[in-house]
Structure 1
């Protein structure tokens, strides 16, 4: 007995010898998918909207709650990840990708942060494993398989963590990385005070003094975030990685949009919420930017992804207050976070918010294909930017002050003049003596970058007023 294709809405045309049970199942599905069947039969509301066969999962609180079955849910979430990677050229076959874990994660959301990075690592591994299969199956093996590494930044020096918990977290990560093979992935466990490693052996003490020199609680959190990025850049540069993957999702970005606005970072906000951030030496990518925290949590539960949890002390700064505020908004309406991110996404990104398209003076063939596929325009006009030496955020013209008249190149003068208004207000000490002491505690790489940025900002300002300057001959006249 055959299934009637005109009545079966699932398009499962059975063989003539199909059993009566399968035919009955198709008939039931046809009844449940008829127009008006949802009102007559409430069970129709639990069907997956994509496959229309399996029961939809619910209970995780996202905007798609109760819409997809488990398999379609996984495919949908991985599809968001893969589309973000391919459409923004995040990972090329010749790249070496570093997935970054941290021991004292921002806003006290260590559980969420660990899950985000765990899912990011799993998805990167899935892409790498598929590339390896294609490589092995191809005859010419022309496209290499990108490499993957994992780094764990130990921040116990700045955020005290019980040694037993720290050891357990490192053990858990080691177990996770070892299970994701082939290919083999290298694990780097690096203390955050490694930013001082090339200078002296008292890096831990200097780091503690540097953090304690900041009186504002929000400033301490932000300073730790900046030092963490420096540590990640250091590891990536030393071991030859070409991309750094961070676990930022819509939920985290929505909180950053509000907190950055409150802290007066509106000008630099577009730089932090894009898929790609190439202002650093090693570009930073956010492949989970289109995913929600609720979706990440559900995937970890469905697949039993092993995670770890480090206890964090309660925080009382702006970041924590904004996190609680956005969480209340999200509980009232599951689309609030998405609305915040979509609104901020209308801001114009900077030129460094995409992977550099020119390599050795040429545009790679893969980049040309991506431009054609997604109808992208080449980024030919690159406007010069001035950057804060501390947080590396782009500076507005009004913030690049007192650089032309900066005759005394003391560290405190350079630091104060090369800093954004937010860092100047929340991180830098107020009085000159404390500021001088603060500068002596900074890693030498930061001070050197401050001098370099000051010279760059000075040249940029001189170019702006070049038409108003008198030449030597005119001055003599």
Structure 2
């Protein structure tokens, strides 16, 4: 309803009645436009504001946008990844893996923004038919693997608690999980077992990879114990590009497509990568623009393949800002696995639009059973060339032999000990969740059966009415 011009206190009619006001507004607008154009550059999106200064943006796509357009552009990438891949629905309970770095900080902030908006819509609606998804935060404490002064770790934990508590409602529960807790509860020597396990891996890359797998096992344990059905990772384009090259160097080409998709549901709780299309440079800049606090744990020099490849990719990115995107787009042409999608939801509480989006994003599967066996350490899908070793598992005598034969070639080369006696000791130090994977792999391997009945199976075209 329009206000009365005679009684209005906001001066909204002043421009209509006072010619001087019109000239003042026009003059200020002209001055603003002149100041922007005097620099010789404008934002490529709004065509009005001055882009982020080159000294701050450090080139690349960041320097083409003004601050507001840059912020909305990064969030649009996040939102598109979430909606087009049906990553988060109103009935979900989401766990954000939080390390304190730029990527995980932006992931937490964006997930919070989505939840906050959903809560406002819920409060404003009359029927309140759509629930608001829950959000939790998980921080993995790796002090046992990488010794850090207690004062430094206390500072980091204090900063993380502060960052989570300062987020506006709905409240988010913070789970601080020591990585040695992957062992059975009540195990008093879990720290010593973990240290000895890592000490028995002599290869720097193997030790780093094993710790990564234990970290993933920790996130799965937190999620399953606390009722979360999604795990949000802060993996961005830069991180994925480095993984593409390092996995290729380590001989993990067959399983590579499994790790670089938007969704990874091979685990008990599916993983989602909403920052898949965002560069690390963009996330770092966003944290600076919005004043998002981050924490960094001190890391010593590392000569692993992973760190060397990351340095190499960072150098390529400096020479050509499109290199990381090119690497990820090229790897994206590989055929994904059947588990690179969110399992279909039949819950009536999930909106029909969400279910339709999920159905469009899901891959068409040839059969309803899993066609892959998985490495018990890294959980990578195994190639058919690795399966003959699995077929002879029953003829092996020791559990360590069964476990070693079930691992992928990369883990066998970089993580597992060569000597049989060392292998026995290594196996005895593994968490039960890892040790039991070899038994599950052998138990649920349907490939031999499928190959025997392949001639009698119907294709998708034959089953369609």
Normalised by the length of structure 1, the TM-score is: 0.86
Within the candidate set 13, 23, 26, 1:23 is matched to: 26
Match of 2:39 in 1: 43
Matched-pair contact (CA < 8 Å) for 1:61–1:334 = no
Quick one: distance in 2 between partners of 1:265 and 1:289?
Answer: 20
Give the whole-Å Cα distance in 1 for the aligned partners of 2:384 and 2:425.
Answer: 28
Matched positions, count = 434
Q: Does 1:187 align with 2:174?
A: yes
| Local SS of the residue matching 1:430 | coil
SS of the residue corresponding to residue 61 of structure 2 reads coil
Name segments (4+ residues, structure 1) moved above 4 Å. 14-18, 25-33, 360-364, 375-378, 465-468
Q: Secondary structure at the match of 1:394?
A: coil
Determine whether 1:56 maps to 2:48. Answer: no
- CA distance 1:400–1:174, change in 2 (3 Å): same
2:374 paired with 1:379: no
Q: Call closer, same or farther: CA 1:377–1:254 in 2, change over 3 Å.
A: closer
Structure 2 residue 84 is the aligned partner of structure 1 residue 97: no
CA apart distance, 1:135: 0.1
* Partner in structure 2 of residue 343 of structure 1: 330
Match of 1:449 in 2: 437
Per the alignment, residue 233 of structure 2 pairs with 246
* CA shift for structure 1 position 446: 1.3
1:435 and 1:362, CA in 2 relative to 1: closer, same or farther beyond 3 A?
A: farther
Secondary structure, counterpart of 1:150 in structure 2: strand
Q: Are 1:62 and 1:295, in contact at CA under 8 Å, matched by a contact in 2?
A: no
The answer as to whether partners of 2:96 and 2:231 remain within 8 angstroms in 1 is yes
- Whether the 8 Å CA contact 1:98–1:244 is kept in 2: the answer is yes
Pairwise mapping of residues 124-139 of structure 1 onto structure 2 (< 5 A)?
A: 124-139=111-126
Deviations 1:15-38 (A, max 9, x none): 6555213223555688899xxxxx
The aligned residue for residue 430 of structure 1 is: 418
* Distance in 2 separating the partners of 1:159 and 1:32: 51
Equivalent positions of 1:205-244 (< 5 A) are 205-244=192-231
Who is 2:391 aligned against?
404
Task: Call closer, same or farther: CA 1:426–1:378 in 2, change over 3 Å.
Answer: closer
| Contact in 2 for aligned 1:93/1:146 (Cα 8 Å) | yes
Give distance in 2, aligned partners of 1:410 and 1:467: 33
**Is residue 344 of structure 2 the alignment partner of residue 357 of structure 1?**
yes
SS in 1 for 2:209: helix
Out of 62, 76, 90, the position equivalent to 1:79 is 76
CA distance in 1, matches of 2:25, 2:191: 67
Q: Deviations over 1:246-301 (max 9, x none)?
A: 11111111110110000000111111011111000001111111111111111111
2:407 to 392, 415, 419: 419
The offset of 1:401, in angstroms, is 2.5
**CA offsets, 1:180-239, max 9 Å, x none?**
021011011110011113362211111111111111000000000000000110011000
The two structures have a TM-score, normalised by structure 2, of 0.88
Segment of structure 1 superposing worse, 253-262 or 352-361: 352-361
Deviation of residue 154 (structure 1)?
A: 0.5
> Which residue is 1:475 aligned to?
none
Partner of 2:67: 70
Paired position in structure 2 for 1:288:
275
SS of equivalent to 1:320: helix
The yes-or-no answer on 1:140 pairing with 2:127 is: yes
Cα distance change, pair 199–396 in 1 and its aligned pair in 2 (3 A) = farther
Partner secondary structure for residue 190 of structure 1:
strand
Please say if residues 32 and 44 of structure 1, whose CA atoms lie closer than 8 Å, have aligned partners that are also in contact.
Answer: no
2:183 match: 196
Cα shift at 1:303: 1.1
Give how far 1:463 is off: 3.9
Q: 1:450 to 1:314 in 2, by over 3 A?
A: same
* Structure 2 Cα separation of the partners of residues 148 and 416 of structure 1: 38
- Over aligned residue pairs, what C-alpha RMSD do you find? 2.4
More displaced 10-residue stretch of structure 1: 132-141 or 299-308: 299-308
Cα distance, 1:320 vs. partner? 1.0
* Residue-by-residue CA offset, 1:285-335 (whole Å, 9 max, x unaligned): 111111111111111111111111211111011011101111111111111
Structure 2: which 5+ runs fail to align? 1-13, 456-465
| 2: CA distance, partners of 1:299 / 1:419 | 40
Distance 1:363-1:163 versus aligned 2 partners, 3 A rule = closer
